[in-house]
Amino acid sequence: MNGGGRHVTLLTREGCHLCEQARRTVREAAAATGAGWSETDVDTDPETRAEYGDRVPVVLVDGVEHGHFRVDLDALLAALR
């Protein structure tokens, strides 16, 4: 459990079934590593929507894009350790 100082941001939008799956995976990875996490709806900010809106869900680890569409639990765990 080394991810205590790490932070995952999950970029989502309402009605996105992939976002629901990603949320479960991010929650599991954060719990396993002690990392913090938050969720942001891309449609609440025009700049965020313009940058990431066509790729949701998007996972950022410490502000750096880690992946989009589908979240691989093992890869996210490795990034957080």
Q: What is the 3-state secondary structure (H, E, C) of the chain?
A: CCHHHCEEEEEECCCCHHHHHHHHHHHHHHHHHCCEEEEEEHHHCHHHHHHHCCCCCEEEECCEEEEECCCCHHHHHHHHC
Class level of CATH domain 7-80: alpha beta
The domain locations on the chain are 7-80
Residue-wise pLDDT for 3-32, tens only, equals: 669 999 999 999 999 999 999 999 999 999
**pTM for the full predicted model:** 0.92
- The Cα–Cα gap between 10 and 35 comes to 13
Residue-wise pLDDT for 21-69, tens only, equals: 999 999 999 999 999 999 999 999 999 999 999 999 999 999 999 999 9
